[in-house]
Structure 1
């Protein structure tokens, strides 16, 4: 099977079913979808080694929130997405109300499509120090939350996983939440999709640059990963464009002709490999992002930050967040 880069479990499932040409569910995978055309939620649960092999992802829960109009400047929609996201995150956070949470904003704040994590951290309710030094001024239901944006290996010279492991050893949080930019295989899912997973994360995976994983195995505490796709592989875009062109030509070419049979029987593996080989000398491993990515990252990061805020702090609503965020 040719390798199309995606970090979304939902897309891994779609591609498996497409390549296997089957309508039945992927073996070892359970899927539930609910919601509306504005906000839909798909819960993918990988329950067996068969599912792990088919999906190429660890066993666990993957929640995907799709909001086709999320890029639009619609405050009411953004607030509704915050609440849906907060509800899904709350249901997956299985720790005591007073347990400490460390939020990690992965990515490079100097590169806009990769700045999601640091942007989210800048809008979080960071409360651990308040509960330690001025607890009488903190509302009931606020838990200790600390946060860091550790940068990337190219900026620090230190593996991100090593930085986080050192902080975890010192602070001893009960849970780590890691936010990172992801890669999608479809442009319409760029910055319109949020994924929550309880399996941890590999920093840099969105651009094919995997580092030390942030998982319960490497850190010793549960890790929830939150990601938003901000880039798509150029070779994938070219491949999809050619597929659409072939589909269009098949409708116009006489069935049974030699040209028709050639188009119909074109090997997808060979086609995708050929595209990569042609593009590589000119553009290398190019990732593509929308031109308005600055505004998109700004808006989406606030949606995620506010969702995390109201999910972690019971009794705190969106109207209370500004009192804790500076």
Structure 2
């Protein structure tokens, strides 16, 4: 069974607050930065600095970064390379205070169910990683300078293994003793427009299964004893989110054509984003259950995005390594 993580980034929480209070609303203890790469890649960084800011957003203190990519970049080599480099820069920024030596080992964990395409992001990333820990130990003379010891695992999901993912990862951390863990998972988005168009990073860890109400043991510094960077891509969306976004589009059209006096507009416009979502979810669940939907082109999308993330990790962890060098080790 899929264990998608909820798309729970601070960017979305901030958007909900600005929708409620206006675009000029500044959240105390939260710093937001935005930049554009190449004119088509958008990077939004949200740093939650204080407990007050964490309370406002409902997120832990830490750094949250969203990389928005063109919806149809697939097959375009220039954009693909820029995406890889952008992901590498984000990871370098998040890990620069953690990795202080080229000998620091990194454990990469590909979360998810490899039997379900939309949930196979983590395992697919592992397939394209430069795995070097064993080479550093047994063939050091064959390894270039700047190559860091990296090991990886795709632990599967509880339904396949009968073992909590957190238990597997914790045991590995105790045995391997990495300086840092990178956990990759597919996400369940709370906005249709974010599905397969964003890569989300944070330094606060990750909770598998949260997106579909199947919350498992968290993977973070408190549970594993080492810092955990999380990488996620919204690959699916639930029926309530699709219905909610559809209603919002209808409301915008009603506002433009019939004005804000329309009864339907008045009913739904008074509801906050989360209240609206819960109302819709509770209304459709008895009749239809909790549908989780993936786009029809999910196979191609997962293949391309997993390569982007893997190459971003490869470039960020190994000094002096570029895209042209990766084939020597993969």
Query: What TM bracket, shorter-length normalisation?
Result: over 0.9
Q: 1:7 is matched with which residue?
A: 8
Q: 1:103 is matched with which residue?
A: 108
Offset at residue 178 of structure 1 (A): 0.5
Q: 1:309 is matched with which residue?
A: 314
Q: 2:158 is matched with which residue?
A: 153
What SS is found at the alignment partner of 1:229? strand
Offset at residue 68 of structure 1 (A): 2.1
Q: 1:23 is matched with which residue?
A: 24
CA 271–117 in structure 1, closer or farther in 2 if over 3 Å, else same: closer
Query: What aligned pairs does 1:141-220 form with structure 2 within 5 A after superposition?
Result: 141-220=146-225
What SS is found at the alignment partner of 1:228? strand
Figure out how many residues of one structure are paired with residues of the other and give that number. Answer: 318
* Of 173-182 and 34-43, the range deviating more from structure 2: 34-43
Deviations 1:128-187 (A, max 9, x none): 000100100111110100000000111111110010000000111111000011122222
Whole-angstrom CA distance in 1 between matches of 2:90 and 2:126: 19
Offset at residue 26 of structure 1 (A): 1.8
CA contact (8 A) 1:70 1:191 kept: no
Q: 1:268 is matched with which residue?
A: 271
CA contact (8 A) 2:192 2:245 kept: no
Offset at residue 249 of structure 1 (A): 2.0
CA 129–100 in structure 1, closer or farther in 2 if over 3 Å, else same: same
TM-score calculated relative to the size of structure 1: 0.92
Q: Which residue, out of 60, 63, 72, partners 2:62?
A: 60
CA contact (8 A) 2:73 2:79 kept: no
CA 74–91 in structure 1, closer or farther in 2 if over 3 Å, else same: same
Q: Which residue, out of 210, 220, 240, partners 1:235?
A: 240
CA contact (8 A) 2:123 2:154 kept: yes
Deviations 1:204-228 (A, max 9, x none): 2233322111111111111111111
Whole-angstrom CA distance in 1 between matches of 2:252 and 2:72: 30
Whole-angstrom CA distance in 2 between matches of 1:273 and 1:91: 36
Whole-angstrom CA distance in 2 between matches of 1:84 and 1:22: 27
Q: 1:298 is matched with which residue?
A: 303
Structure 1 runs of 4+ off > 3 angstroms?
269-274
Offset at residue 11 of structure 1 (A): 1.1
Whole-angstrom CA distance in 1 between matches of 2:40 and 2:291: 31
Whole-angstrom CA distance in 2 between matches of 1:274 and 1:214: 31
CA 228–271 in structure 1, closer or farther in 2 if over 3 Å, else same: closer
Ranges in structure 1 where 5+ consecutive residues have no aligned partner:
none
Whole-angstrom CA distance in 2 between matches of 1:50 and 1:44: 14
* Of 164-173 and 72-81, the range deviating more from structure 2: 72-81
Q: 2:258 is matched with which residue?
A: 253
Offset at residue 253 of structure 1 (A): 2.8
What SS is found at the alignment partner of 1:191? coil
Deviations 1:74-93 (A, max 9, x none): 12211111011101111211
Offset at residue 289 of structure 1 (A): 1.4
CA contact (8 A) 2:74 2:304 kept: no
Offset at residue 30 of structure 1 (A): 0.6
